[in-house]
A and B are shown apart, each in its own frame.
Chain A
């Protein structure tokens, strides 16, 4: 096991930034901590790095109690959100810094720095300074600077947040490939659920300092446990008996993905009548808002080839299979 949190709490005065979190990160896995800002994911990462100490609880890193270990004694390295490159050093010196302070000889250092820069395709900028590089390049330098120390665990704090969409997607692929190649445990903090879904082996979904669910991307999307997870991982229709008093009894709550609902079909075992109230065209997908007779709305995402030209304001029927509804844990309020 790479990193273990046992009932870790971190309170700042009255603010419970991390409130009783237990995590087990397996060796060699790509583990993401996902959540909105202020949900505690970054504080958890800082607790792993040693920049914060828990109010209570225990942290193990590589089987060793690291709760009170200072950052420089932990075999983990961090890639910071703003990269945190040393502005007064060349790229070479930046990458070699960790080796230098640990007393690695200049000769060995040069070789390892070169290899690390090659790994991120930046051998040609070794003599430049951070402010002479683009954001994407600085990002890779930060990565090389961490990896050159051969950490057991690499911590990444929203490392792609400052990059534009195209570059971000490219870096997602490269990071994932790098992680597979090196076999290092990655702990990745992000607020972008798409990013987490596409890169992670497992994801922990954070909300208000607590973990809502830890699971594989597929399980999180297909079988969310709570309303928060269902809603945060993509779009979900929350179905309870205030929405469908005739079909749902008592305190049960369900999540239903928009793509599981069929338009103008009666193949499913649940069928409703409604009217198209809004059409959201998003390129690859189109989402259609259906207003039910009781003025509540349901989102439907038909297959791509769907002809939407004739839909505006028309009465339609929607249907789905009861089996596609995912029972959520929390009771209706």
Chain B
């Protein structure tokens, strides 16, 4: 038996860590139900659900959510396609300049969002492209591709390449091999990569600021809300809903992959 003292110490520290991480979220939760309108006054005055109904009446909220969902869905699709193709092309073949190419591909995730955003902005401006959904989606796709690429490459490295050769050997064409052998073995990594890419796009703010037109994504809408103190409870409600919504896919992926 290890000493009880140190075990309690570790438990206490772990608890403190969890509190530190989740306390701000708890605040949001509490003040979404607070009767007080304007600021974060402590203790909360009373319990109400009226902010939920008020939020439900606001079209701009649903527009922002819909806009964000569309962008996330499209940039995830682009990422799944380009990311997995890039992974398949790069994980085994050797060609001159491969390392440089890989670096260029991965760079968007390492670059500060401000650099990506700024460079995209000047590119779109000089090309005369009106900022809007397309420009935001392209901006998000730059780092979503990397997420999918990394997931798929990691999976491909664990698959024995012999099964691909075995498939050719048994008479399958490249397309048949991709469909029957490669894709089923990539399934989980594509799903996980897609989910991550979707979540990243859904709450992306910095690149979005530089590439957005007049229509706000959800994170932009939330940011704009901060300048309206009277709307704080509604903002809290939206934040809470977004939190619950984004937790669903995470729980889903956990549930889907836990037995493997």
Contacts and interface: CB of A to CB of B under 8 A. Distances in A.
A51 B163 CA distance: 12
Interface of A: 49-51, 70-72, 76-78, 80, 82, 84-88, 97-98, 100-102, 145-146, 149
A82 B168 contact: no
Contacts, number: 65
Interface residues of B, number: 17
Interface string B174-209: 001000110011000000000000000000000000
Contacts of A49: 165, 169
Interface string B148-188: 00000000000010110111111111001000110011000
Contacts of B185: 87-88
A86 B182 CA distance: 10
A97 to B, nearest CB: 5
Main secondary structure of the interface of B (DSSP, over half): helix
Contacts of A88: 184-185
Interface of B: 160, 162-163, 165-173, 176, 180-181, 184-185
Nearest to A98: B170
B163 A84 contact: yes
Given A84-B160, A88-B184, A88-B185, A101 B165 contact: no
Given A84-B166, A85-B163, A86-B163, 9 more contacts: A72-B171, A78-B165, A86-B166, A98-B170, A98-B171, A101-B173, A101-B180, A146-B169, A146-B170
Contacts of B163: 84-87
A86 B171 contact: no
B172 A101 contact: yes
A80 B165 contact: yes
A97 B165 contact: no
A70 B181 contact: no
A149 B166 contact: no
Contacts of B167: 86, 97, 101
A194 to B, nearest CB: 26
B175 to A, nearest CB: 10
Contacts of A97: 167, 170, 172, 180
A88 B260 CA distance: 12
The residue among B160, B166, B184 with the most chain A CB atoms within 10 A of its own CB is B166
B160 A149 contact: no
A78 B172 contact: no
